Amino acid sequence: MSSDNAEDVGNKDILPSSRTGSPRYMTERTQDVMSFVRKFGTADLFITFTCNRKWKEITEALVPEQRPQDRYDIIARVFKMKLKKLENDFEG
């Protein structure tokens, strides 16, 4: 919220919760997590799952001269498939 008006210097701007990383955003995320804890109990596992754009399924789907970052749709589809497989592995 920049301004060229000298009178605005030192005025407080309150960022909305939709602004990622703002104090209101962090408070909202914390409250969301606590509601999950109340409903389901504390977590047994905390798993981080990331995507590797060099995965064979991604590189094989590209046409010559394409880079993985040119095809976010392929990356998203492969990530979702692998995440689903991981979830199924935990279910039994």
pLDDT in tens, 7-58: 777 777 787 888 888 889 999 999 998 998 999 998 888 889 999 999 999 9
- The model's pTM is 0.57
Domain boundaries, the chain: 15-42, 47-92
Cα–chain center distance at 63: 28
- Per DSSP, 70 falls in state G
Q: For 1-92, list the strands marked E by DSSP.
A: none
Nearest CA-CA partner of 70 in 51, 53, 50: 53
Only one residue has tokens 């919760």, namely: 17
